[in-house]
Chains A and B, each alone.
Chain A
């Protein structure tokens, strides 16, 4: 029974990661309300606990205790399944994200990611994350259709079309990074960004010529997660509330969780692929040296999520035809151009 240690370690990692992810999702909501409030020159939540820190707990309690209404005119199987699909695929992709170097505890070599136990690694990790996020479109599409409501259907069609259009630009912008790293494995891509250029500039992909790809990825990620400036499908002043009009209480909370979990996944991917992952200055005793990469990783992910919230508080939203034209007529040719230039430079150097 030599599988037992692996199963035990995997279960502990999964429990820890789900707890951290769900807490992070709840507190990103708090952070967003505070930061957007400050941008708009008002306090955010301040009453529930110090600095409003218990507001997510109050919101969670509200969602659980609220009446879960299923209108009579909906198509019940898909109405109940759609938020489940959205939240399952949003939470699954965290399994492939590595957070740091391998830990050596009790003689075991534990990689800091859920998949790839026993020192192994998934060598098509990036493709699998892209696959999982592309399956998440079904949650939104089926939610709008099953609600049997004009506004929900229009909102879900728009959201679905927007998500599959920007997936192309997202994928193409990542190919430049793949050419530089030479592998699809997320750990391998981070390890190819170790070290410094002369002058203390880190060897991150964003400084190795992928700055255009970084901005394409950023824009496509905002569109993928339906955030401002691309949140027409779920804007409050348009289409009532878009695809989640007919949902209440826990099902609505699941869509909410799915959206913020997608934000976390996209931020983790951006950190791994463009900002050098967990690479950063190491100092101190061995225990600190083992945990410091995780700190750098979380700081970079936090910076990316803060950028998300900052853009949300600052920019207006695109009209739908402007959104689709931008994705197909500007971002896609730019991503292809980035790919061609990167491959020429790499081939010329080799």
Chain B
């Protein structure tokens, strides 16, 4: 009973944060709403029993990735977004389409879900997750690390100094 109340409360906070994210005009307020969404997702993971994932969600997502988002917003000095006319079609068809999509999703989940998870039923302790990561899911784990490494290298090349990407051509161009 308490689990249901907590699940609904954190779910409501999550959805409210997400809606606020879209409705805000200043990017920093959207970023703060996203932090609220991440934190309430961590609480939902904790309710399921995945304590390691919940803690790592706070440390990585809310504590590092969102800090970098906030840095970018601060550095670019993005101001309040300008209010435009908006598309006329979106005003007429938007809300009915949203309701239709919501009804479809609820129907699909409630009629086709084969298993349901009770609160606290997952084995989320670090030892279990560590064993799974290094035995069954070793290949996806390593491939994900290489994927992130490729992304970092791409960012460094794109944002670096010109002579980093093509030393001879850029050095020649500098001398001319």
Contacts and interface: CB of A to CB of B under 8 A. Distances in A.
A131 interface: yes
Contact of A137 (B28, B63, B75, B126): B63
Contacts of A124: 51-52, 55, 125-126
A164 B56 contact: no
A135 B63 contact: yes
A131 B55 contact: yes
Interface in B58-83: 58-59, 62-64, 67-68, 70-71, 74-75
A267 B146 CA distance: 36
Interface stretch (A22-30, A153-161, A224-232): A153-161
A75 B130 CA distance: 44
A80 B55 CA distance: 28
B28 A127 contact: no
Contact of A127 (B52, B62, B68, B75): B52
Interface stretch (A138-146, A318-326, A331-339): A138-146
Nearest to A163: B67
B52 A164 contact: no
A164 B67 contact: yes
A310 interface: no
Interface string A140-179: 0110110000000100110011001001000100000000
Interface in B104-131: 125-126
A46 interface: no
A128 interface: yes
Nearest to B42: A131
Nearest to A171: B59
A235 interface: no
Nearest to A136: B63
A169 to B, nearest CB: 14
A137 B67 contact: yes
A131 B58 contact: yes
Given A131-B58, A137-B67, A123 B51 contact: yes
Interface residues of A, number: 24
Most chain B beta-carbon neighbours within 10 Å: one of A127, A131, A171: A131
B70 A142 contact: yes
Given A145-B28, A145-B74, A153-B74, A167 B55 contact: no
Contacts of B59: 127, 130-131, 134, 171
Contacts, number: 60
B70 A138 contact: yes
Most chain B beta-carbon neighbours within 10 Å: one of A124, A130, A153, A156: A124
A164 B126 CA distance: 23
B126 A141 contact: no
A154 to B, nearest CB: 10
A298 interface: no
Interface string A89-132: 00000000000000000000000000000000001100110110
A312 B65 CA distance: 31
Contact of B125 (A123, A130, A161, A164): A123
A123 B50 CA distance: 12
A153 B62 CA distance: 21
A157 B63 CA distance: 15
Given A134-B64, A164-B64, A157 B58 contact: no
A172 to B, nearest CB: 13
A127 B55 contact: yes
A95 B126 CA distance: 21
A161 B71 contact: yes
A161 B62 CA distance: 15
B83 to A, nearest CB: 19
Nearest to A129: B55
A350 to B, nearest CB: 15
Contacts of A131: 55, 58-59, 62-63
B67 A160 contact: yes
Contact of B67 (A123, A130, A141): A141
A137 B52 CA distance: 21
10 contacts: A128-B58, A131-B58, A134-B58, A134-B63, A135-B63, A137-B67, A138-B35, A141-B70, A144-B74, A145-B28
Interface of A: 78, 123-124, 127-128, 130-131, 134-135, 137-138, 141-142, 144-145, 153, 156-157, 160-161, 164, 167, 171, 184
Query: A-B pairs with the 3 shortest C-beta distances?
Result: A134-B63, A127-B55, A131-B58
Given A145-B74, A156-B74, 4 more contacts: A135-B62, A141-B70, A141-B74, A142-B28
